[in-house]
Structure 1
Amino acid sequence: MTSRLPHKLRSDARDNRDRVLDAARELFAERGLDVPMREVARRAGVGPATLYRRFPTKQTLIDAAFAVEVEQCRSIVHDGWADPDPWRGLCRMVQQLAELNARNRGFVDAITAALPSPADLAAHRASLLHKVADLCRRAKQAGALRPDFVLDDMILMLLAGRGLAGTPVAVRRDAARRFAALTLEAFRASPTTAPLPPPARVVPTVHG
């Protein structure tokens, strides 16, 4: 009897942790990172003490909730950086980041959490941004990326893309692809007549 009790306690603790993480992911995806910790506890069906025992600060909860997305982001950036064709790598990176961004409203908030400026972001995410900067430098040298592009423009793209998570689920992927294509046209050194991806009807009553 006593030998089974610690196992049950460990199992209950794991269940509570999983419920908290699921609730946090749902709320962050729906509303961003401004959700109070007590609301996460209510959604998870646990008391505040249980929540704070597992995650003593909001930042530890954010880090755990977005661990998968952060790893996906790192993989996307690395794969784009490793492409021998820098413009192709940059295009793929922008497209995949837009789709990742569309899946979760809190994602960009998470990777820039507590970082008030791009300079601070560079200090805390040096390895990731170093690869982005190197990829953009090579794309400029190849004549594909506009010469007045700066790294802050990529951050602007990520911040603007936060709104993709608020589009209807049925068109969210199309919206992300269209947004990425429009962004890349703005980044491109020379205009192109290549067709854009199909439009996403994010507001059904608007036609153009």
Structure 2
Amino acid sequence: MRSDARANRTRILEAAMEAYADGDSPSLGSIARRARVGKGTLYRHFPSRESLVLQVYACEIWQLTSCVPDLLASRPPFEVLREWLTRLARCGASRAGLADALDGATAQAAVVAETYGPVVDALAVLLRANEEAGTVVSGLDVDDVLLLLGCLWRVGPGAEGRDRADRMLDVVLRGLGVQPATADCGHTRP
């Protein structure tokens, strides 16, 4: 792929990620405008809304899962777990908006097939690091933890939704037996 085509694709994906993160159900035309490309350029890279949505979610999951080793190398495991679960919850909430853009069960199954494994692997690494640090109870099942987190994907958008998700995440973390270093579960409200 030529460098200008690669740059256009990147801008389209970034614009789409921003639009869906805003809680919008954006038109492809609005994404093209936001990315500063023509509709034809958008359709060359993503021939359907479904193909764009699938790639947006896959990119978000890749960003989320690929950072775990670097985060654990630089910060305490509990701090990383909390931050990562917050990001996962926001990603999951955006997935709810993305699901509306997907037309069928086949497309949604493709999203799960492509992204579930990396999420499970990353969370397993985080739980193991926290277990070794003594900040969570031993023997937690990754699938159980993900099921618990599912409630966070249903909070609304905006600041109110983020605040609610933060409160709910505190409850989930306490349920995991978290022993944070600070009295407020290691979370600082803005």
**Judging changes above 3 Å, is the alpha-carbon distance between structure 1 residues 141 and 22 closer, same or farther for their aligned structure 2 residues?**
closer
Query: Structure 1 segments of 4 or more deviating over 6 A?
Result: 13-16, 189-193
Query: Does the CA-based 8 Å contact 1:101-1:162 persist in structure 2?
Result: yes
Q: CA deviation at 1:166?
A: 0.9
**Judging changes above 3 Å, is the alpha-carbon distance between structure 1 residues 100 and 20 closer, same or farther for their aligned structure 2 residues?**
same
What is the match of residue 130 of structure 1? 121
What is the match of residue 20 of structure 2? 28
Matches within 5 A, 1:33-72: 35=25, 39-42=27-30, 44=32, 47=39, 50-58=41-49, 60-62=51-53, 64-65=55-56, 69-72=60-63
Distance 1:71 1:148 in 2: 26
* Gap regions ≥5 residues in structure 2: 99-106
Distance 2:133 2:9 in 1: 49
Query: Does the CA-based 8 Å contact 1:139-1:145 persist in structure 2?
Result: yes
Query: Does the CA-based 8 Å contact 1:133-1:151 persist in structure 2?
Result: yes
Residue identity in the other structure for 1:70: I
**Which string of whole-angstrom CA distances, capped at 9 and with x for unpartnered residues, describes residues 82-103 of structure 1?**
58x9xx5255223233046448
Query: Does the CA-based 8 Å contact 1:102-1:162 persist in structure 2?
Result: yes
Distance 2:110 2:91 in 1: 24
Total equivalences in the alignment:
175
**Which string of whole-angstrom CA distances, capped at 9 and with x for unpartnered residues, describes residues 18-65 of structure 1?**
774455234422447xx58xx223553555x55432212445423554
The one of 152, 164, 169 equivalent to 1:180 is 169
What is the match of residue 103 of structure 2? none
Q: CA deviation at 1:66?
A: 5.0
Counterpart secondary structure, 1:115: helix
The one of 65, 90, 112 equivalent to 1:74 is 65
Query: Does the CA-based 8 Å contact 2:96-2:154 persist in structure 1?
Result: no
What is the match of residue 89 of structure 1? 77
What is the match of residue 142 of structure 2? 151
**Judging changes above 3 Å, is the alpha-carbon distance between structure 1 residues 192 and 186 closer, same or farther for their aligned structure 2 residues?**
farther
Distance 2:79 2:72 in 1: 11
Q: Under a length normalisation based on structure 1, what TM-score does the superposition of the two structures give? A: 0.53
**2:109 matched to 1:115?**
yes
**Which string of whole-angstrom CA distances, capped at 9 and with x for unpartnered residues, describes residues 140-178 of structure 1?**
566643356321233235433334561327x84x55544
* Gap regions ≥5 residues in structure 1: 1-9, 201-208
What is the match of residue 162 of structure 1? 153
Q: CA deviation at 1:187?
A: 0.8
Residue identity in the other structure for 2:84: Q
Distance 1:193 1:17 in 2: 43
Distance 2:57 2:115 in 1: 16
Query: Does the CA-based 8 Å contact 1:27-1:40 persist in structure 2?
Result: no
Q: Which has the higher helix share?
A: 2
Counterpart secondary structure, 1:133: helix
Structure showing greater relative contact order (alpha-carbon pairs closer than 8 Å, 6 or more residues apart): 2
